[in-house]
Amino acid sequence: MPRLMIIGATGSLGSAVAREAVSAGHEVSLLVRAPSKLPPGIASQASIHQGDLTRLAAAELTDLIRGHDVLINCAGLVTEGQAFVELFDRVVSSAETLSDAERPVSWFLAGAALLDLDERGRRGIQLPKVKTTYWPHGANLERLRRSNLDWRLLCPGPMVDQPRVGLERLRVSCDRLPVPLPRFARLLPAPLLLPLFAARIPEMIVPYADAASAMLANLSPRGPMTGHRVGIALPPGMRGNKGQWAARPRNAA
C-alpha cells in the first residue's frame, strides 16, 4: 500500500481523505497545526506531525514529505488570495526539492471554476464576479505546469457533509467541466456565459467523502490523471443544494 502524507487533515476534506485512507489500510502521516482537532479514529491510526505550514522551514517540510509515495495537500483557503498562492507554492517547492526517485505522486485542490467550459479553453475563473475570488486557482495551476512533479489537481464544485454517492456513480472529467454546457455557449461573451456556468453548479455539489475517494482511487505514478485538472459531478439528473446540505465550501467554486 502507498505511504501517504496528508497536509490539512483537520479540515473537512482533509479529514475525509485521512479517514478513508486509514480505513483502506494505507500507512498515513498527517501534518496538522492542532492534533487535538483530529477525530480519535484518525489520530490513533496515523503518524502525527504538528506544525504550522506557514512557519515551517522549507527544509523541514521537505523532510516530512520524504519517504512518502503520495502527497495530498488539502491546506489553505482560496479566499485568502495571495496567501493561498504562497502556501500552495511552498508545498510544491518543498516536494520539488526531493530527488526524482523520492518525489511523490501529488494531489492538490482547486475548484470547478478552473475547468475548461468549452473548446475555446475558457474557464470559470475568467468570468465576471468569479475571477474576483477564485483567481488564485489560475495562479496555482500555472505553478504546477512549471513543475516536474507527478501532479493531479482535483476541481470539485462546493463540497458538503453528506453520505457518499459513490465514485462509480459520479461523472469524472479531465480538464473540462464534467457537466457540459450547451454547444451555443461557445458563441457567448463572458457575461452571458456566467449564468450558464452558475446553473451547472448544483450538479457539482459533491460530498467530501466522494471527493476524497476520487483522489485515493488514483494514486499510481504517472497515471491517466497525471498533469490534469479533474472534475467531478453528481449522476445525471441529480442536483445538490448548498443550504439544505449545510455546505461548507472551501476551495471549490
Other beta carbons within 10 Å of 50: 11
Per-residue pLDDT of the chain (253 residues; tens, 9 = 90+): 899 999 999 999 999 999 999 999 999 999 999 999 998 889 889 999 999 999 999 999 999 999 999 999 999 999 999 999 999 999 999 999 999 999 999 999 999 999 999 999 999 999 999 999 999 999 999 999 999 999 999 999 999 999 999 999 999 999 999 999 999 999 999 999 999 999 999 999 999 999 999 999 999 999 999 999 999 999 999 999 765 433 334 455 5
CA–CA distance, 181 with 176 (Å, rounded to integer)? 10
Whole-model pTM over 0.85? yes
CATH code that applies to domain 3-233: 3.40.50.720
Nearest to residue 53, comparing CAs of 98, 95, 12?
A: 95
Q: Are 132 and 208 in contact (CB under 8 A)?
A: no
Distances (CA, A) of 146 to 89, 95, 149: 11, 13, 9
Cell representation of residue 12: 473537512
CA–CA distance, 45 with 52 (Å, rounded to integer)? 21
Pinpoint the alpha helices (H) of the chain: 12-23, 40-43, 58-65, 82-96, 130-145, 190-200, 208-216
DSSP state of 253: -
Looking up cell 502525527 gives 48
